[in-house]
Structure formats: structure tokens, C-alpha cells
Structure 1
Amino acid sequence: MEKLEMLELELNALVRASKDNIVITDGKGIVLRASPNSNGIYGMDPLSLIGKSVTELEAENVFSPSVTKRVLEERKEVQVMQYTATERSVMATGIPVFDEAGEIIRVISFSHDLTELQHLKEDYEELRTTMERYQSEIQELREKEHGLENMVIQSKSIQRVWQLIQRVAKSDASVVFLGESGVGKTIFARALHKGSQREKETFIEVNCGAIPESLFESEMFGYEAGSFTGANQKGKPGLIELADKGTLFLDEIGELPLPVQAKLLKVLQEKEVTRVGGIKSKTIDFRLIASTNQDLEEMVKQGKFRQDLYYRLNVISITIPPLRERKEDVAMLAHYYLQKFNEKNAMSKFFHAATIEELVAYDWPGNVRELQNMVERLVITAETKTIYPDSLPFYTQQEHQPDMDSLHIAELEERGSTLREALEEVEIRWLKRAVRQFKTTYEMAEYLGVNQSNVVRKLKKYGINAKKH
């Protein structure tokens, strides 16, 4: 065997055995040899590459950018990152080979597939960002010690409410929470107590609309032994006494009977309470928080609420906006309760994207309480693992004609769309839907049923910015 043939065999063996992709061109950038793994990296059979110009291949986005073209222009070794038509991230190194006259007669390029490494890097960066966010949130929770449960602080209106609560929590001023029934006034009242200096003391909650008027006075102020028939022989401390050193929360204070309003005002002014049937007063110290879904000012005008008590209570009033005015919170609350009731009932149901859209569009007259109850009902009664819009009690099929989100095949055909274009349109719409509903690509991937790195690549491919959706 001649020496030239032996060199040819050795060269072919090296090209085939190399884990890197090797492409050899002549001095004009015409491909002479290519590794068998060119198909996996560049999407072209090695035989299809031979005889083609790197300039032509660059224009076709096979090599983007072409390292060989750079070597021919700069006449030196060049290293570049390439992004191929097969969505691979490749580190390419081009080395010129000169003849005795100093002319480039060959360019040998080595391309190392870094796609998996790039994905790992992206995953690591996202994980690091997520961990930093979680650490920040945990630290914030520790610092504020608010221990909030089932509270979503997403919309700007609720963020403003929460900021106001933080500012007034450390004071001892009376606070009245205003808002419709079911908006979460009790949760915010508890948060206010948690953020106060009384957080380690008792939080006494009184539903003023749930206690019969005949029992209200004895329940609120307590009673001495033998005060009335059926009374406890040892007497009983009232709810106000039990709130000593802590917080007294009067929910729906507009339901407070007028006689009790007068006694409550006296307690607030004198910081003393006297039990029913008793003569000795007891000094107490509590912070008063109240809530109502009624217009107390109008009730004062109608003589249904004492004016002096109204001004005593209304030191700081905080209005909780209804759910229909903070649509940004609906999806997050729905997912929170979904997870909660899935765990409670040992289920793993999830919302279809169209169901979330319907939940967000609904007006929620019963506010957060209605949403919570509905999600629990859906988790228990939905026949399939996926909760579809037709499971919603307010959903009517007639009002929901199919739109482009369902992708009309006939319309795409009329537009002359190819199968690839139609598939891309479906892909884009699903990605945008996922971006609107979820914060991280991991959540999007779970929702779409694909790999997280695939979601990252697709978002980059279609130029979808997660922050703007």
C-alpha cells in the first residue's frame, strides 16, 4: 500500500473516530470532508456538504456563523459559538493550513456540541435565580413575621393594602377593614395582629352577626356567678377580658346592637370592663380591629350606629378591593386552592388553560370565599383529571364560540398555511398561554407536558418574552 493511500486511510479513521465534528475545506472554503456526525449537529448528511461553499452553507443557516469563512478572512485560528438549524449550540474552532508560499490551502474546523452543557447552564441559572428569589422571600417573611396563609399579594391594589398594614401594624391604633363579604378581611386582620407587638398574645375573633342579641352582652363582657338563670356558678370572663394584652377583632361590627355599642365605647375610653351582674371593674389592655361590609357612615346618619363609637373606631380605615377589581390575583388564588384541595383529597387535578381564562373573566360576587368554595367543589366533582370550562357553574357553551386559540384548520388552509406553519402557530399560542399563567419555565414545562429546556429553546426561537405576558 502506497504512503498516500495510508495517509488517506488514517485521515478518514481520525474523522470518523473523533467525538467532535470535523469539516475540512480547501483554500476557497469548499467542503472536502465532513464527519459522519454532521447530520446530528448541522442537520445535513456529510455527503451533502461535500462540494458546497461555506458561504452558501452560512446563508442557508447550516453554519451560523461560519468559522471557516472567518478563518479565510482573518488568516488565523478562530473560535466562534454557532447556533445550528437543528437548534444545537456548538463551539467551533477553525485552523488554517498554509503552503510554502503562505497561502491557505486547507481549513480544518472542529465543532464540539455544547447543547446539553448550555441547557445545564440555563437550568442552573434559572435554578439559582429561583433559589435567590425564594431565599429573599423567606428572609422577608422572617423579617416581617407575618406568617400569612392563603393570601395572594399579586395585584397592585393588594400590594398597597399590604404596605399600609405593615406601616400601621406596629402602632396600637384602632383599624377598621372595609370591603364586601368574602374579600378576606379576617385574613388581613390576622396579618395585622401577626405584624404587631402583640403577636404572641391572644387574637380573639368575634363574629358580631353570629351571636344572638340576648346573649351578646354576657358573651362580650362576661358575667359574675348567679347573674341570671342558667349562668355558670363560677361566672365567666367575656371575650373582651380574654383579649387582654392581645387583639380583639370584631368582625361585621355593623351588626353590633346599640346597647352593646354604648358599653363598648365606655370600655375603649376607660380601658376597664365590668362583668354583667358585677360591681368591680377590671383594667384591660387590648388593640381593637374591626371589619364591616356595611357603610358605617350611612348607618350613623340613620341612627343605627353610634357616632361617637364610629369616630373612636375609625382611626385608620383600610379598604380591601373586591376580587373583580384585582383580576391578577384570580389565577394565583385558583392555583393555590387547587393545590390545597388536591392535597386534602389526595388528588392531582389541574385546570385547563381555558378554565383559567373563564375564572379570570368571571365577576366573583362572592369574592375570594366564592372562589375557594368553587375550587373545592371542582376538585371533588370534576369527572376528569383536567378541569375543563364546562365544569364551571357559570359557563354556557353558547356564549363561547371557538376562537383562534382552538386553531381553525379550515381557516389556516384558506390562508395557505403549510403544516409546519400551522404547527408553529399552535406552538406559539400554547407557549404564550403558558407564559401568561406561570412564572417559571419549569411550571410551563409541566403544564405543556414537555422538557423545561425545550420550553427555554422554544421561547427563544419565537422571541416570546416571558416578562411581557
Structure 2
Amino acid sequence: MKNQETNIEDVLKELAAIIETSKDNIVVTDGEGRVLRVSNNCQEIYGVDPEELYGQSVNELEAKQIFNPSVSVQVLNKKSKQEIIQRTRTGRVVMATGYPVFNEKKQITRVISYSHDMTEIMALKEKYEQLTEQVKRYESELEELREKETRIPGFIAESPQMQRVMTLLQRVAKVDTTVLLLGESGVGKNVIAKAIHRKSGRKANSFIEINCGAIPEGLLESELFGYTSGSFTGANKGGKPGIIELADKGTLFLDEIGEMPLALQAKLLKVIQEKQITPVGGTKAKTVDFRLIAATNRNLAEMVREGRFRQDLYFRLNVVPIEVPSLRERKEDILPLIQIFLEKFSKKYGLTKRLEESATEAFLRYDWPGNVREVENVIERLVVTTDESSISLHHLPESLRGDIEIVEATKLTGSYKLKDILEDVEGKVVLQAYQKYGTTHEMAKHLGISQPSVVRRLQKYRGKREQSSL
């Protein structure tokens, strides 16, 4: 009996030692939720003396927000192991785990709970989350910087139309799909093609560009596909690789694809499908890996209907069409373009130039049939040829002055009749249309009047111009 008592005493001492030496706070309750044992670190974690807890109900302690919430209460209610996170009155974050102890009748006789101080871990977690957010912010800022670095001078996206183009550009740049850029001459299709390449996974490799309309038909095939030694008179002895081969692992940009002869269209289609080329005069095919971007100012669908462009090639090219709007459709981009080109050419030629308000207004009113390219050319000409530092209305080409000049004259004289104003404007429109379209039939089509009316007006206003120049 004595040995049994000694064993019970030893067990109790061991139990007390375990409770007191544990780094976790341990609370033992009976089956009614009355506190029987509490470890001494309860003061440090929960801010209450252990002696004050003995005999109290865990429900009452929860109501006083000492254990908030109480894991022992949840164990008693759910009759199973429970885990919760507590925030104590001392400002600590605690993970509490409670275990039920059952008797032979499956009744809870004890609840043992362990509370592990997670304050430092949670602080580290919060710090980690803050650092993660900071890293994301830095990555976003770096991406913005990369975008600025990859932005090519002359590419402006202030208008909603160009912002949509930029969004689509960003999306398609990440994949190797074929892109077809559509739009008038001078809108910046080559600039967009370069931007797609520089934002793609192929940016470390070559961007190879060729204008299909600028090379004579007889030479275009050898330029595209290359040639072998002695394949034709004047060929290099060692042969020459074509631009498609040079674009291997990079991007191939075929500008003015609508000008490509039908015979070459068939050969190009085969290359796109098989990713293999055979040089002119050669018999052995070479494998090439390139991303294709094509551009045109033509209506390819109409050319297909007319039999001037292969339908199968059109379908191969028209995977992701991007319509680049003309400058007259995105007036918001004109002013930023002026500023960029003024800075560019002022720096290039060591000059300082600025546009006066009247000249800027003329730029904004003008339709810019030559689009961005025309803006760039006009700005360069004005920077070079204007003696004064301020570029005013009278420095501008006549085509730009247009009705602005008439309005200015009317303000000065106050006697300019409406009939004269309308006649001057009509004359400028007719003469500009003649310079742009060249034939009276084309002029009639675009001006929306009959061809005989165009002839009469052209004779009238050309005669007036000749008289005024005498």
C-alpha cells in the first residue's frame, strides 16, 4: 500500500513538474469546466495570476475575456479535439489546442488544453507578408521601368484608341502567335512590331524587317529565301542567307505584305506552315524558328475577293489582327507627338524650338494624311529651317495653315465675307485632295461629289493659285 502511495506521489510530482516546466501554458479542467490545474506562465500569456483561476468555470472566464475564446468550452460542447487562435489581454497571439478525456461511460472527465505563444511567429508572418507586398510593388515599378525602356520614340498611347492597341500589344507579345498590323501608311505599324518583339520571349534575338513593296519583284524572292552559290548571274560565290533565315529564333516583320507577288505568296505560305526554307537554286531545306508579324495598308480581304491575294495565306496571317487608327482618329496623340519630335530634333541639331499657340492649333486641326511619319517630317523641317526660336503660324507649310490662316485674317480685317471664306476653304480642300489622290476620279470618290464637279473646281482653284503667284 505504501509503495502504491509512493507511486501516486511520484506521478503527481511528475505531473506538476511537466506542467510547470512546459513552455506552453497548460490548463486542466474537470468535466464541468472547472479549472483544476494551471501552469505558472499563465500570468505572462493571459495576464492573470494562476491562483485566481482555480475552481472557476471556463464559461465565466470566457465571458470575462480571459480565455477569448475558450478552447475548453469548445471541447466540452463538441466532445472532440479543438484548435483555435486566441488574442489575449496582454496582446499576445496564442494557438490553443484542447483534448477531451473520457471515462468508461464516454463521459468527459477532464479537458486538457495547451496554449502555445505564437506572437513572434505571427509577427514574422506579418513581416513576411509586408515584405511580399513590397516585393510585388517593386516588381510592378520595375515592370513600369522596363516598359519605359522598351518604349520606342514616336509611339504614343494617350488616346483611348491607342491604349486599346497597347493593351492588345502587351497580351500578344507574351505568346508566339502571328500578328497582322492593319492601318494607313505612316501610323507606326513598324514601331508596334518592334514593341511586340521587345516585350516577347524572343527579345534577345534578331528583329528582321523587310518592306515587301520596296524591293523589285525579281529580287524579293532571293532577299526572302536567300540563294546558293551560282544560282543566278551576279550572285555571291558563297551564296547568301535570306532574311527569313536571319530571323531564326527571333521575329520576322514583313511590312507591306499586300505588295507581295502571288507566286511568292505560295512559297511564303509553305514556309509558315512547315517552318522550313529552301534557298533559290538550292535543293536542301533548312529549318527555321521565327515569330511572324505582318503589316499592310491594303484591304487584304478585298484583295482576296479580287484574286490578288491568296486566301489561305490571308487566313494564316490574320490570326490576331491589330487595327492601328490613323492620327486624325486620335487627336489626343498629336500634342505628345509634337513635344517628342521637337525635343528629338532640337537635341539632334543643337537648337531650341517651340511652337506658338497658333501653330499648335493648326497642328491639331490638320488631318495628317501622312500620319505620324508626316508629323515627324514636318517638325524636323521646321526645326531646321526656322530662324526664330518660336515657330509661328506663318512658318508652317501652306497645307497646315489652311483655314486657321483664313480665321486669323478675318479677325484682323473684320470684313471677310462668308462667301470668300467658304471659297478659300473649298479651294484648299480641292488642291490638297489633288495632291493626295492625283486623279479626278479618286478625288470625286473621296470628296463625295461628281467627277465633272471636281474637274470644274480644280480648274477654278488652280487658275486662282497661278494668278496669285504672278
Could you say whether these structures have the same fold, taking a TM-score greater than 0.5 normalized by the shorter chain as the test?
A: yes
Deviations 1:354-402 (A, max 9, x none): 2111101111011000110000111111131110011111215751237
CA contact (8 A) 2:180 2:293 kept: yes
- Aligned pair 1:240/2:244, yes or no? yes
- Aligned pair 1:153/2:160, yes or no? no
Looking at structure 2, the residues matched to 138 and 374 of structure 1 have their Cα atoms a distance apart, in angstroms, of: 35
CA distance 1:298–1:378, change in 2 (3 Å):
same
1:270 to 265, 271, 274: 274
Instruction: Give the corresponding residue for 2:11.
Output: none
SS at match of 2:401: coil
Looking at structure 2, the residues matched to 137 and 395 of structure 1 have their Cα atoms a distance apart, in angstroms, of: 43
Instruction: Give the corresponding residue for 2:67.
Output: none
Instruction: Give the corresponding residue for 1:296.
Output: 300
SS at match of 2:209: strand
CA contact (8 A) 1:240 1:248 kept: yes
Looking at structure 1, the residues matched to 142 and 178 of structure 2 have their Cα atoms a distance apart, in angstroms, of: 29
Looking at structure 2, the residues matched to 188 and 401 of structure 1 have their Cα atoms a distance apart, in angstroms, of: 38
1:371 to 351, 372, 375: 375
TM-score, scaled relative to structure 2 = 0.56
2:407 aligned partner, one-letter code: H
Deviations 1:248-287 (A, max 9, x none): 0000000111111000000111111111111111111001
Instruction: Give the corresponding residue for 1:347.
Output: 351
1:395 to 381, 387, 401: 401
Looking at structure 1, the residues matched to 249 and 384 of structure 2 have their Cα atoms a distance apart, in angstroms, of: 42
Looking at structure 1, the residues matched to 221 and 202 of structure 2 have their Cα atoms a distance apart, in angstroms, of: 25
Q: How does 1:25-36 map to 2 (within 5 A)?
A: none
- Aligned pair 1:208/2:248, yes or no? no
Looking at structure 2, the residues matched to 372 and 389 of structure 1 have their Cα atoms a distance apart, in angstroms, of: 17
Q: How does 1:178-217 map to 2 (within 5 A)?
A: 178-217=182-221
CA distance 1:272–1:329, change in 2 (3 Å):
same
CA distance 1:249–1:137, change in 2 (3 Å):
same
- Aligned pair 1:334/2:338, yes or no? yes
Instruction: Give the corresponding residue for 1:446.
Output: none
Looking at structure 1, the residues matched to 407 and 142 of structure 2 have their Cα atoms a distance apart, in angstroms, of: 42
Looking at structure 2, the residues matched to 391 and 149 of structure 1 have their Cα atoms a distance apart, in angstroms, of: 25
CA contact (8 A) 1:342 1:349 kept: yes
- Aligned pair 1:250/2:250, yes or no? no
SS at match of 2:167: helix
SS at match of 1:244: coil
Deviation at 1:141, TM superposition (A): 3.1
1:250 aligned partner, one-letter code: L
SS at match of 2:283: coil
Instruction: Give the corresponding residue for 1:425.
Output: none
CA distance 1:328–1:301, change in 2 (3 Å):
same
CA distance 1:369–1:398, change in 2 (3 Å):
closer
Deviation at 1:206, TM superposition (A): 0.5
Aligned residues between the structures: 272
Instruction: Give the corresponding residue for 1:95.
Output: none
Q: Which has the larger radius of gyration?
A: 2
Task: Name structure 2 gaps, 5 residues minimum.
Answer: 1-138, 415-470
Deviation at 1:149, TM superposition (A): 2.4
TM-score, scaled relative to structure 1 = 0.56
CA contact (8 A) 2:153 2:340 kept: no
1:400 aligned partner, one-letter code: V
Instruction: Give the corresponding residue for 1:162.
Output: 166
CA distance 1:175–1:229, change in 2 (3 Å):
same
Looking at structure 1, the residues matched to 149 and 385 of structure 2 have their Cα atoms a distance apart, in angstroms, of: 37
SS at match of 2:265: helix
Deviation at 1:151, TM superposition (A): 1.3
CA contact (8 A) 2:209 2:254 kept: yes
Deviation at 1:142, TM superposition (A): 1.8
Instruction: Give the corresponding residue for 2:74.
Output: none
Deviation at 1:180, TM superposition (A): 0.3
Q: How does 1:446-461 map to 2 (within 5 A)?
A: none
SS at match of 2:360: helix
